[in-house]
Amino acid sequence: MNWVRASLRGLILPAITLGIWEALSRAGLEDPHVFPPLEWIAWTAWNDTLHASLIGNLLSSVGRCAAGFAIGGTAGLLLGAAFGLSRTMRVLFHSLFNTLKQIAVFAWIPLLAMWFGIGEASKLAFIALATFAPVLVNTEEGFYRAPAGLLEVGAVLTLRRFQVIRRIILPAALPSIMTGLQLGLIHAWLGTIGAEFFMTAGPGIGTFVAEGRDRFQMSQTLVGVVLLGLVGFLLQRGAQALERHALHWRQA
Amino acid sequence: MSATAFQPWSSRVVLALDGLVAPLALLVLWWFASAHGWMPQQVLPAPDAVTSALADLWNSGDLTTNAWVSLRRVVLGFAAGALAGILLGAAMGLSRRAEEVVRPLFTAAAQVPAIGWIPLLMLVVGIGEPLKIIVIAVAACVPVTLNTLAGARAVSPGFYEVAAVFRYSRSQILRRVILPASVPQVFTGLRYGLTNAWLALVAVELLASSEGLGYLLVWGRQMFQMDLVLATMSVIGAVGFALDAGLAFVERRLQHWKIL
C-alpha cells in the first residue's frame, strides 16, 4: 500500500493550507470578505452553479477560446507550412515575423482594444494572436523534419512535388505540428483569461473572477480561479489524448 | 538554414537584403496610407509620429524612468521566483518524500497561469508593489521548478557509479555530480521562467500600475495616442529580446566546458 501512503502525504500541504485559511477566517483577524470561511466558498460555488451564471460564463469562455484557437491555429498552420515549403516566403517574411514575435503578447491588448473596441472582436483577435505564434513556429519546424533518406527515395521514384509533400514531408511534420497545436491551445486559454481580465464587457469566467475582485468577494474570485485551472487542465489532457490518437500509427 | 554556410558571402548579403524587402514594403505602405489619410491618426499614426513619440519619451526621461521601474520589478520577481523554483525543484528531485508531499499541491496550483492569480492576489495584498513582485515570481517559479526537478532526476546512472567508486560523500555527490549534470536543464527552466516573468510583468502593469512600460501602454490608450502605444510596444519587444539574449549569453559562458 505504498501508493496510499504517498497520496496521503500529498494531502498534508493542502490540508494545512485549508486549515490556516479556515483559522484565519474563524479568528476574525482578517476581513471575512477576503478570507471567507470554507463553507461560504462552497456555498458560492453551489449557488452560482445553480443560478447558471457560472455555467453560462464558463461556456462562453470555452466557446471564445475554441473560436480564437480555430482562427489563430489555422493562420499559424498555413503560414508555418508556407514558411516550411517556400524559401521565398521565408526570405520575405521571416524577419518580420521574428521581430513581431519579440513583443510580449499582452502588450498587443491596448492596440487591439483601440482597433476593435473592447467587445467580442478584440477578445477573439487577442486569443487568435496568442495561439498563432507557437503553432506557426512548430509547424515550420516540422516541415524540416523529413528524413533525407526518404526524400531521396521520393526523388528516385520521381514523385511529384505534391506527392512528396503528402507522403513524406507531411507525415514527418505531424508530431511537431501536434506539439504546436497543443502549445497553441494552452496559449489560447491563457489568452482567453487575459482578454477577459482586460476587456470585462460580456460574459466569461475571467470576467467572473475580475467581478469578484471588484465586489470584494473572495469566494467568487476563488471559485472562478479554481475553474480557470480546471478548464486549463482538461484542455491540456484533451489535447494530449487527441495527439496520442492522431499519432498512434507511429508505434507501428 | 545550414545551407547558407556554404554560400559565397555575396549571395548571403543578397539573402539578408531580401529579408528587408517585406518590412520595407510594409513601411512604405504604412507611410503611404497615413500620408494619404486612409486611416485616422488614432487607428494608425504615421511612422514618423511613432519615431517622434519614441524620441519624446526618451528626451523627457519618461522612457528611462518607466523602463527602470519595469526592469526592477522583473529582476526582483524573477530572482525570487527562480530561487524558490530551484529550491523546490531540487528538494523534489533529491527526495522522493519531499516530492510526495509537495508535488500534488504544486501541480494543482500550477494549473492556473500566473496571470489568473492577479485578481485574487489583489484582494489579499492590494495593488501595490508586492502584487507585481509576487505575480512575476509565480510566473517564473513554475518552469524553473519543473526543469530543476527533471534535471536532478536525469543524471546518468553511470555518474553515480563513478561517484561510488570514488567513495564520494553525499555532499560531494551533490556538488560534483548532480549540480553540474543538471545545470543545462536548470538553465532551460530559467530561460522559460524569464520569458514568463516578462510576460507577467506586462500583464500586471496593464491591470494595476501607475508606472512602468505596461502603464505607458494604458496611458497611451486612454489618451488615444496610438503613436505612444506603438512606440512603447517596440520598447517592450526590445527589452524582452535583450533579457532573453542576456540570459542566453550567461548560459553559454557558464557551460563552455560542455563542449569538451
H/E/C letters for each residue in A171-214? HHHHHHHHHHHHHHHHHHHHHHHHHHHHCCCCCCHHHHHHHHHH
CB B212 within 8 A of CB B73: yes
Q: A-chain residues within 8 Å CB-CB of B239?
A: none
A203-A230-B124-B209 Cα dihedral, nearest 10 degrees: -60
The reply to whether A49 and A10 lie within a common domain is no
C-alpha triplet B161, B167, B171: angle, nearest 5°: 95
Please name which of A217, A213, A119, A224 lies closest in space to residue B207, comparing C-alpha atoms: A213
Q: B-chain residues within 8 Å CB-CB of A215?
A: none
Which of A94, A196, A225 to mutate: most B Cβ within 10 Å? A225
Whether residue A225 and residue B220 make contact (CB cut-off 8 A), yes or no, is no
Q: Is B165 on the interface with A (CB under 8 A)?
A: no
In the numeric block, the cell 497545436 is attached to: A181
**Which H helix or E strand runs over A239?**
helix A218-246
Which one has a higher pLDDT value, B8 or A42? A42
Owning domain of residue A15: 1-29
Whether residue B229 and residue A110 make contact (CB cut-off 8 A), yes or no, is yes
The reply to whether A64 and A12 lie within a common domain is no
- Closest residue in A to B243 (Cα) is A102
User: So what's the pLDDT on residue B33?
Assistant: 84
The reply to whether A20 and A44 lie within a common domain is no
Please name which of A203, A196, A194, A201 lies closest in space to residue A52, comparing C-alpha atoms: A203
Q: How many CB atoms lie within 10 A of CB B13?
A: 10
3-state class (DSSP) for residue A157: coil
Whether residue A108 and residue B26 make contact (CB cut-off 8 A), yes or no, is no
Model confidence, pTM:
0.88
Whether residue B218 and residue A9 make contact (CB cut-off 8 A), yes or no, is no
The reply to whether A19 and A121 lie within a common domain is no
**Cell representation of residue A234:** 482538461
CB neighbour list of residue A168: distance below 8 Å, 6 or more residues apart: A146, A150, A151, A153, A154, A159
The reply to whether A150 and A228 lie within a common domain is yes
- Closest residue in A to B112 (Cα) is A229
User: So what's the pLDDT on residue B89?
Assistant: 94
The reply to whether A12 and A74 lie within a common domain is no
Q: Is B181 on the interface with A (CB under 8 A)?
A: no
Backbone angles phi, psi at B166, to 5 degrees: -80, 0
User: So what's the pLDDT on residue B260?
Assistant: 41
Kindly list the averaged pLDDT for each block of 10 residues, start to end, along chain A of length 252: 80 89 79 81 82 87 96 96 90 87 93 89 96 96 89 86 87 92 94 92 90 88 92 91 80 48
How many beta-carbon contacts under 8 Å exist across A and B? 146
Of B22, B105, B120, the CB nearest to A225: B120
Q: B-chain residues within 8 Å CB-CB of A232?
A: 111-113
Q: Is B103 on the interface with A (CB under 8 A)?
A: yes
Q: Is A7 on the interface with B (CB under 8 A)?
A: yes
The reply to whether A10 and A134 lie within a common domain is no
Q: Concatenated DSSP letters for A106-155? A: GGHHHHHHHHHTTSHHHHHHHHHHHHHHHHHHHHHHHHT-S-HHHHHHHH
pLDDT above 70 as % of chain B: 92
Q: Could you report the predicted ipTM of this complex, rounded to two decimals?
A: 0.87
Examine the pLDDT at B259 and tell me if it is beyond 70. no
CB A225 within 8 A of CB A231: no
The reply to whether A24 and A130 lie within a common domain is no
Alpha helices in chain B (DSSP H): 9-18, 21-35, 47-60, 62-94, 96-110, 118-125, 129-153, 157-165, 170-173, 179-207, 213-222, 226-254
DSSP label at residue B211: S
By the 10 Å C-beta count (0-12 exposed, 13-18 middle, 19+ buried), A158 is classed as exposed
CB neighbour list of residue B4: distance below 8 Å, 6 or more residues apart: B12, B15
3-state class (DSSP) for residue A2: helix
Give the model confidence (pLDDT) of A15-46 as tens digits: 998 888 888 888 777 777 778 888 888 888 88
Q: Is B78 on the interface with A (CB under 8 A)?
A: no
The reply to whether A25 and A112 lie within a common domain is no
- Closest residue in A to B111 (Cα) is A229
The reply to whether A17 and A59 lie within a common domain is no
DSSP label at residue B176: I
Relative orientation angle of helices A12-27 and A2-10, to the nearest 10 degrees: 30
Give the model confidence (pLDDT) of B36-50 as tens digits: 878 777 778 888 889
Report the alpha-carbon distance of residue A200 to residue A211 in Å, rounded.
8
Using CA atoms, how far residue A232 sits from A46, A239, B92, B147, in Å, is 21, 11, 24, 20
Give the model confidence (pLDDT) of B211-247 as tens digits: 999 999 999 999 989 999 999 999 999 999 999 999 9
Please name which of B136, A219, B210, A59 lies closest in space to residue A211, comparing C-alpha atoms: A219
Q: What is the mean pLDDT of chain B?
A: 88
CB B153 within 8 A of CB B93: yes
- Closest residue in B to A196 (Cα) is B116
**Cell representation of residue B162:** 563513478
The alpha carbon of A69 is separated from its chain's Cα centroid by a whole number of angstroms, namely 8
- The mean pLDDT value for B4-17 works out to 64
CB B201 within 8 A of CB B136: yes
From B176's Cα to the closest Cα of chain A, the distance in A is 30
The reply to whether A133 and A195 lie within a common domain is yes
Q: B-chain residues within 8 Å CB-CB of A95?
A: 19-20, 22-23
Q: A-chain residues within 8 Å CB-CB of B42?
A: 114
Domains held by chain A: number: 2
Examine the pLDDT at B3 and tell me if it is beyond 70. no
**Which H helix or E strand runs over A247?**
none
CATH number of this structure's domain B47-259: 1.10.3720.10
The reply to whether A171 and A53 lie within a common domain is yes
Give the domain ranges of chain B.
47-259
DSSP label at residue B150: H
Give the model confidence (pLDDT) of B159-178 as tens digits: 888 888 888 888 888 888 88
Of A14, A115, A222, the CB nearest to B120: A222
DSSP label at residue B209: -
Whether residue A103 and residue B233 make contact (CB cut-off 8 A), yes or no, is yes
